[in-house]
A = this chain, B = another copy of it.
């Protein structure tokens, strides 16, 4: 296959999510664990090399957490688990995310909250910044 067969994917290269706030995991045995996720779709024919910057209210950002999404794949990154090449753990409390990708992608964030313990959802498509 030569380069002419490669298709550029849909979307944008910079995505912003202002409102992150990890919920507690909730009681054991619930059908869904409380968590937040970042979902990245790469419809193109090249790897998307991604860097995540995590912003806080009271300290400098944690910048450049590296990960990747394979061509023609969607990948769900759990935000309550160690994240990226440095396995950074996002602490509880307000945070925000900026994602930068080498290839166009489309990105959404979701929260599942079971602390009451009923399920409540929270989601938004990111703001594409580039």
Contacts and interface: CB of A to CB of B under 8 A. Distances in A.
Interface string A31-44: 11000010111010
B56 A73 contact: yes
Nearest to A98: B43
Contact of A40 (B14, B18, B113): B18
Contacts of A65: none
Number of copies: 4
A87 interface: no
B98 A76 contact: no
Place the interface of chain A in its size category. 35 or more
B55 A10 contact: no
A122 B110 contact: yes
16 contacts: A10-B16, A16-B43, A18-B106, A24-B31, A30-B116, A31-B115, A39-B94, A41-B98, A43-B98, A55-B72, A55-B73, A57-B73, A57-B76, A76-B94, A108-B124, A123-B123
Interface of A: 10-11, 14, 16-19, 24, 30-32, 37, 39-41, 43, 53, 55-58, 60-61, 72-76, 94-96, 98, 106-108, 110-111, 113-129
- Shortest beta-carbon contacts, A-B, top 3: A74-B96, A10-B129, A18-B41
